[in-house]
Structure 1
């Protein structure tokens, strides 16, 4: 299948295609299009004249590779796939954080000077701990987001999906449908909503489970509270008080742990108040924005549109993109 080119990201990465001394780390919320971006890069390399034999793609979430869990197993797999290849090897590894100790493996092949390495990860665990300490200065991060409104319309045209002649109606569809690239393939709102619900479920099963949530019901309550109050100023104490009023005796440290898990999984982004003299700032009030608005509409099926927080969320994510595109 022909892939939609996300040019805004590709133009930032192209200059590093042949940089064997720098590991290219592509991060972003699960299902935002990281794998497709890597496949697009591989296609561009072939179009440029690189032999397909020199392009090695390993998806550690797929059948056949899910049993690769240790550094030794990953090292042996890469060695097996590249031992007879001459010249620069372009190594693409999807969901590399599935392997314990992957940092040493990446650094080992990077130091051989004939591997241009690209890796993806769905959460900030990828850029924590060992990777930061062992690969400082030897990797560069490219954070990918779900589709912008511009990309949403362009991708619909690319896949021959209809676009409303009414800009407000099209914007409303974007807000409700969200910007997950795969969801554009589905024709009904119900199917797109089901897809978003399953993305959230997959994030919990594959990313958030790392923090060992003991009370899943309590986590769901915190997650839903944050999502339902996106773009509103709230504090951890607000969350604790609201939940306790509803009979939930959740503790503040637990709420903090769950909020950090949502941030690490890139479901939400936080924005602190800029007015440091404000009493609200002292109380720790922040706004939380959604990585994708479909997370909200997957939980709320009435489709009532409040454009204020929706547009604020869109602008916040857009500004995040602008900052990384500079």
Structure 2
């Protein structure tokens, strides 16, 4: 069996919540590593001494379990495989294919001494019916493609290759974990094309039969070529539900309120954007902005677009303990560009951290308290 590469940021979240009476739900786009994470957790349970008989691990995309059609089939299967009164660990991969699966989950919690973990590739599994039955009794772990730091761990680069060259590679192929097994760009693009087609066909079109495929395809191309720009369309909800895009709201810093319009959308992995449009150096600014957004999500920030008068702040990032304002600019060498980025931040009168992320090195590190950080260094820092 192939050796799995650990992704501790996610595995530790499962370990920290082990034996807590909450259903652990791992969500994320297809092929982002959810199944591997569940397998890593399975291995962890064995390592700490859990009896193999007390772990039931089901991947519902396997034909082995094709006879399980609905919640009653699943309930009876689990009931018949429990051999003792010890705690049972239930690991369900892509459980959303089971009709009314949430009814089975609630019965497992009531009837058995169990700890439940599950994955899903679309947000429909967290529907209103699920929320009604399991309200307040689950924790969602949002899994994303590889960060740049993880990317360096997955790929074996020659020692002589610089960080900048590795980052350029990351900008071009993105962070889908499966790609590290492939050697050349042709196979990488073929694999990305397969994942993309599955998302569109299985996660969107099959669930929304009235949707026009050609309109959806054109919209996706528009989003990819206008990263971070405003798009309003009923199709957006479907793309967000499949975790292909992440919509974020705009916040009026001066008025201190969320705006109902003028939000933006970011794509889950830049590899898909480059697959559909091709990689162009002229687009690096938008690509960097997308990568910073995803990294803020990984670091569990709540992210907004900022508005201050008629100026824009790329990101407002918040946790309960921290808040910061971020501008992303490929370079500050051009004076007009530098003034534009700085002026937006200077307009903000509070004392929260303000930073500019750029590809520049050996540039002035601070402008009146506004820090300038190389984006590669920022992506590789501990958090």
TM-score band, normalised by the shorter chain?
Answer: 0.7 to 0.9
- 2:284 is the counterpart of 1:307: yes
Q: What residue in structure 2 maps to residue 218 of structure 1?
A: 215
Structure 1 position 15, deviation (Å): 2.1
Out of 284, 294, 300, the residue aligned to residue 271 of structure 2 is 294
Q: What residue in structure 1 maps to residue 109 of structure 2?
A: 110
Greater helix fraction, Structure 1 or Structure 2: 1
Greater strand fraction, Structure 1 or Structure 2: 2
Q: What residue in structure 2 maps to residue 136 of structure 1?
A: 135
For residue 175 of structure 2, give the secondary structure of its aligned residue in structure 1.
Answer: coil
Out of 198, 201, 211, the residue aligned to residue 205 of structure 1 is 201
Structure 2 Cα separation of the partners of residues 152 and 187 of structure 1: 15
Q: What residue in structure 2 maps to residue 22 of structure 1?
A: 22
Q: What residue in structure 2 maps to residue 177 of structure 1?
A: 173
Q: What residue in structure 1 maps to residue 44 of structure 2?
A: 44
Structure 2 Cα separation of the partners of residues 88 and 205 of structure 1: 39
Q: What residue in structure 2 maps to residue 270 of structure 1?
A: 247
Asked whether the 8 Å contact 2:92–2:118 carries over to 1, the reply is yes
Q: Are residues 282 and 273 of structure 1, via their aligned partners in 2, closer, same or farther at CA, if it must alter by over 3 Å?
A: closer
Q: What residue in structure 2 maps to residue 252 of structure 1?
A: none
Asked whether the 8 Å contact 1:24–1:117 carries over to 2, the reply is yes
Superposed CA offset, 1:37-67 (max 9, x none): 0110110110001111111111111112234
What TM-score, normalized to structure 2?
0.73
Q: Are residues 85 and 156 of structure 1, via their aligned partners in 2, closer, same or farther at CA, if it must alter by over 3 Å?
A: farther
Q: Are residues 7 and 324 of structure 1, via their aligned partners in 2, closer, same or farther at CA, if it must alter by over 3 Å?
A: farther
Superposed CA offset, 1:246-281 (max 9, x none): xxxxxxxxxx22111001111001122223789xx9
Bigger relative contact order, structure 1 or 2 (CA pairs below 8 A, ≥6 apart)? 1
Structure 1 position 115, deviation (Å): 1.0
Asked whether the 8 Å contact 1:22–1:110 carries over to 2, the reply is no
Q: What residue in structure 2 maps to residue 192 of structure 1?
A: 188
Structure 2 Cα separation of the partners of residues 149 and 185 of structure 1: 17
For residue 35 of structure 2, give the secondary structure of its aligned residue in structure 1.
Answer: helix
Structure 2 Cα separation of the partners of residues 312 and 152 of structure 1: 18
Structure 2 Cα separation of the partners of residues 305 and 4 of structure 1: 34
Structure 1 Cα separation of the partners of residues 222 and 147 of structure 2: 25
Q: What residue in structure 2 maps to residue 99 of structure 1?
A: 98
Asked whether the 8 Å contact 2:249–2:259 carries over to 1, the reply is no
Asked whether the 8 Å contact 1:176–1:303 carries over to 2, the reply is no
What TM-score, normalized to structure 1?
0.85
Can you give the 5+ residue segments of structure 1 that lack an aligned partner in the other structure?
237-255
Structure 1 Cα separation of the partners of residues 259 and 142 of structure 2: 30
Superposed CA offset, 1:136-180 (max 9, x none): 1211111111100000101224xxx65762222211111211111
Q: Are residues 113 and 69 of structure 1, via their aligned partners in 2, closer, same or farther at CA, if it must alter by over 3 Å?
A: closer
Q: What residue in structure 2 maps to residue 249 of structure 1?
A: none
Q: What residue in structure 2 maps to residue 243 of structure 1?
A: none
Structure 2 Cα separation of the partners of residues 282 and 142 of structure 1: 27
Structure 2 Cα separation of the partners of residues 283 and 56 of structure 1: 45
Tell me the matched-pair count.
299
Q: Are residues 156 and 163 of structure 1, via their aligned partners in 2, closer, same or farther at CA, if it must alter by over 3 Å?
A: farther
For residue 284 of structure 1, give the secondary structure of its aligned residue in structure 2.
Answer: strand
Give the CA RMSD over aligned residues. Answer: 2.2
Structure 1 position 230, deviation (Å): 1.3
Structure 2 Cα separation of the partners of residues 13 and 73 of structure 1: 27
